[in-house]
Amino acid sequence: MEIRRLGFIPGEHVRRETLFHVANGYLGMRGSFEEGTPPGVRSVRGTYINGFFDSSDIHYEEKLHGFASIQQSIVNVIDTQGISLDLDGEAFSLSAGKVRDFRQVLDIETGVYTRSLIWTSPRGKRTEIVFRRLASFILPSLALIHAELKPLDWSGAVRLTSSQRGDVLQDSDPNDPRKASVGRKMLRVTSALEQDGAMLMTAETLHSRLTMASAVSHRWQGGFTIGHRVGEMISEAMLVGRVKAGEAVSLTKYCVYTDSRRFEDPAEQALELLGQALKLDFPGWAERQSEYLDRFWQRAGAQIKGNEPLDASLSWSMYTLLASAGKDGIGNIASKGLSGEGYEGHYFWDTEIYMFPFFLLTSPDIARDLLRSRAAMLPEAIRHAREMGHEVGALYAWRTITGSECSAYFPSGSAQYHINGAVAHAFLTYWQVTGDLSFMAEEGAEVLIQTARLWLDAGHWQAGQFRIDSVTGPDEYSCIVNNNYYTNRSAQSHLRGTVKLCEALRNNGMLREAQERTSLAEAELDQFRHAAEAMYLPFDSDLGICAQDDAFLSKKRLDLSQIPKERFPLLMHYHPLFLYRHQVCKQADTVLAHFLYEEGEDEAAIRRGYEYYEEITTHDSSLSECIFSMMAARTGRPEKAYDYYRRTAALDLEDTHGNTADGIHAANMGGCWMGIVFGFAGLRLHWNGLAFRPCLPDKMEGYSFRLTWRGTGMQVLVQGGEALFMIQSGPGLELSVYDQEYRVEYELRVPIKANAGET
């Protein structure tokens, strides 16, 4: 499967830099041109290490207690992308001469990005030029760039200049709250040298004082001689030789990155890893990459039948999620992955709600690493809770890199307490799907207990009900509200799940360690139970729907049809208070709660709630349409679900939100996968097994996907009027389809019901 773009279109270049980035969860490199960008063409030339950040003070003219004080931003690290070509005295550039057969292709089965073209120089000499790249999943510190050129009608001298640059800046936009406002320098080069053919450069962030190193070396085919020039900010390797018409020559550039969050001695260990990397040529690393991805697709493959664009988007989404996810317990998944600087490389609840399910059901080891990353942030979450006035418990930061709150706007930042529920949901579903009680005892229990305590301190009792005031739900167009339905529902699930886990740990003789670490008392578990059972969930009996919060349905309804298209997204054109005073939703909120926590909810209320909130939701957030797609399928509207799904799948590949240049929308990619599995197939995770409600839109021939449940690998295929469930590895399992229980040892076929969501 490939993502392909033809022809050089200057206005699309910065967006294509995002689409054709290469990454592996530790290291990401945007698809910038090796030789540089033609004059006047916007480019965001960037390379990023997951979780490698610089910090700065947040300045307030009127700062109050507990406001976030330190900003963290992902760093655009040392640039090793540069390779310039001098072909018989003419510098290769897309701004000179003529270009034909220009192609950009990302092969998601090998993880190799290729840019190829035929360049006719100003003097009329034609050369075939091919650049290939990969970021290794096998050796995560390694990125490779392979340049190959073949003169078609000339012979002569060639010079290739490979650069390593420390003079990098951050991307910025002072008018976009989703990006840094100032394009500042975050990195100071501390040393540059050449050693045995390797160019080594070290650097330190200006404020966080993290250190990193990049080590670069080269291998080539052709009669080249090499020389090096090392400067304070720029190091270069120059390869000089001669070529003959019709004969290809090539250069492979090995780029190794290390950082002080993972390595004790980044410089020394970068050189060691570079030595390992040099043992294989580019085809060798590409072959190992292909083998890794083949194993990944064997357990995670999903397909949409009869619609190539949708299928390509689904495959690209899954591949890019894999490329974005931290796999070392330190890095998590930034909202833009490792493809750009939008949202400054921060981790949000996006990971747990939108992206974690993909890994949980296909690659549980990666899911566990993501949870380890959150567990490592627990001390900061405890500190944050104290800053917010809570004497007990832990409150995870709304946006962060290491765990401290980085949002300067608390109404839609720190007030989003529901991130605790998201983190808890991920830990609980991990236990549910894997049965890994040992991990829960070692790391999960402490996170769940400390975050559950926060709900008891944040909420209060009134008339026998447990209520939570002054919070912000997922819908950021309504802030600081009382009893946000989504927040209260997630808190209820969190409290119940924590009690259930502690009971399971006690029954297996594994609770004592968690009790010692948290000083958990039996009385607290009783408080958790009591608060969960008495949780207030606002409901409007006149409309027959769950109310988004206590006041939402009493506000004036904003008529979205009267707002010009150019004034969307609303957050870019209206003051927050204007939005807070109206019934208008940025994204799914109560509808999202009905997706995640449907148990015990009235079916008619779910359907009516979908209809009501759909009319007032702008989908200004990329997190929204995938949820409405899944819930359209859930409520018996498969064709509407398809329309929402198509827009979800098109978001980045067609740049429908107009900001793909800033990086991928990683949560939306998770939604692209969930839209098939949780949407059309209707999967829900129950404590006693898997439950499905499959449907098939008329515009879709079929779909299939693979998943793992407690050691059993299964494939689901929906087409031709039936759903087929096939055991591929491991023991049989119990599942339900349309609320009918089955035991599957080999395969199960069930006819698809029309309007299945209405059952």
pLDDT of residue 1: 81
pLDDT of residue 143: 98
pLDDT of residue 759: 42
- pLDDT above 70 coverage of the chain, percent: 98
Domain end marker among 247, 273, 299: 273
CA torsion 550-552-553-554 (nearest 10°) is: 90
Q: Is 714 exposed, middle or buried, given 0-12, 13-18 or 19+ CB atoms closer than 10 A?
A: buried
- What does the alpha-carbon distance between residue 615 and residue 593 come to, in Å, rounded to a whole number? 17
- Asked if residue 101 lies in contact with residue 88, where contact means CB atoms within 8 angstroms, the answer is no
pLDDT tens for 182-233 read: 567 999 999 999 999 999 999 999 999 999 999 999 999 998 999 999 999 9
Residues in the chain: 759
Radius of gyration of the chain (CA): 27
Mean pLDDT of 735-740: 96
- pLDDT above 90 coverage of the chain, percent: 93
CATH number at residue 183: 2.70.98.40
- Report which of residues 59 and 485 the model is more confident about: 485
756 pLDDT tier (thresholds 50, 70, 90): low
Let me know if residue 671 belongs to a domain.
no
Residue 455 backbone dihedrals phi, psi, to 5 degrees: -60, -40
pLDDT tens for 331-388 read: 999 999 999 999 999 999 999 999 999 999 999 999 999 999 999 999 999 999 999 9
661, 650, 606: which is closest to 628 by C-alpha?
Answer: 606
Range of the domain at 167: 2-55+73-273
Let me know if residue 368 belongs to a domain.
no
Show the DSSP H helices in 43-126 as ranges. none
- Asked if residue 712 lies in contact with residue 366, where contact means CB atoms within 8 angstroms, the answer is no
pLDDT of residue 183: 61
427 three-class SS? helix
- Asked if residue 335 lies in contact with residue 671, where contact means CB atoms within 8 angstroms, the answer is no
DSSP state of 486: H
Domain end marker among 273, 305, 337: 273
pLDDT at 758 over 80: no
pLDDT at 516 over 50: yes
Dihedral sign (CA 388, 394, 396, 400): positive
- Asked if residue 325 lies in contact with residue 730, where contact means CB atoms within 8 angstroms, the answer is no
Let me know if residue 614 belongs to a domain.
no
pLDDT at 255 over 70: yes
Q: In what order do the strands lie in the sheet with 22-23?
A: 22-23, 27-29, 47-49
pLDDT at 755 over 70: no
176 pLDDT tier (thresholds 50, 70, 90): low
Exposure string over 234-260, b if 16+ CB within 10 A, otherwise e: bbbbbbeeebeeeeebbbbbbbbbbbb
Residue 105 backbone dihedrals phi, psi, to 5 degrees: -140, 130
Let me know if residue 499 belongs to a domain.
no
Count of domains for the chain: 2
Domain end marker among 253, 273, 293: 273
Let me know if residue 102 belongs to a domain.
yes
pLDDT of residue 66: 87
In sequence order, the β-bridge partners of residue 689 are: 686
Averaged confidence pLDDT in the chain: 95
Quote the distance between the C-alpha of residue 48 and its chain's center.
14
Parallel, antiparallel, or unpaired: how do β-strands 689-692 and 733-737 relate?
A: parallel
pLDDT at 416 over 80: yes
In sequence order, the β-bridge partners of residue 291 are: none
- What does the alpha-carbon distance between residue 46 and residue 198 come to, in Å, rounded to a whole number? 22
Single pTM value for the model: 0.96
Let me know if residue 407 belongs to a domain.
no
List of residues 6+ apart from 386 with CB closer than 8 A: none
Parallel, antiparallel, or unpaired: how do β-strands 556-557 and 582-583 relate?
A: parallel
pLDDT tens for 437-467 read: 999 999 999 999 999 999 999 999 999 999 9
CATH number at residue 703: 2.60.420.10
Mean pLDDT of 112-120: 98
Both tokens of 521, joined, read: 């008392």
- Asked if residue 392 lies in contact with residue 398, where contact means CB atoms within 8 angstroms, the answer is no
pLDDT of residue 325: 98
Catalytic site residues? Answer: 476
Let me know if residue 314 belongs to a domain.
no
Distance from the first to the final alpha carbon of the chain: 37
DSSP state of 444: I
630, 626, 646, 620: which is closest to 595 by C-alpha?
Answer: 630
Strands (E), 422-536: 459-462, 465-468
- Asked if residue 329 lies in contact with residue 372, where contact means CB atoms within 8 angstroms, the answer is yes
Residue 337 backbone dihedrals phi, psi, to 5 degrees: 60, -140
pLDDT at 127 over 80: yes
Both tokens of 253, joined, read: 């550039």
- What does the alpha-carbon distance between residue 407 and residue 400 come to, in Å, rounded to a whole number? 8
